[in-house]
Amino acid sequence: MTTATSVLGGLFGYLIGFYAFSWIEPFLRASRYWDSYQTAVTWFEAWGFWAVFIAGFSPIPYKVFTIAAGAMSMTMLPFVLASLIGRGMRFFLVAGMMALGGEKMEAALHKYVDRLGWATVGLAGACLLVYL
């Protein structure tokens, strides 16, 4: 339930980015930033799945990436899959740890959650650099 509602919220963020961008696109096209925007779109299309996945799993603000995905017109299926996998892994990992460790695990998670999350981001970034 948590994963599903989180992904639905992500879809809402995607739509905000998708439709809000249409209001500013004419100004962007008229400016000197259009070529840079096109480069960003290409990058997000190539790495967008991984960006959304890492944001969904880590302490990086997932909502920001959902809005960016919409603004960059990321393809919907990879967006939804990355969201489902990233958010699902995060929520099931926390639930599993809580089920196994009880109150002691809850206290440890509250104390170290940010450090664990950023370590995950670093590890994911290193893996992307090595394998992709």
Q: What is the pLDDT, as a whole number, of residue 126?
A: 79
Q: At how many degrees (to 10) do helices 62-71 and 34-57 cross?
A: 150
Q: Provide the pLDDT for residue 132.
A: 64
Q: So where are the chain's domains?
A: 2-131
**pLDDT tens-place string over residues 44-101:** 788 889 888 888 888 777 888 888 899 988 999 999 999 999 999 888 887 887 888 8
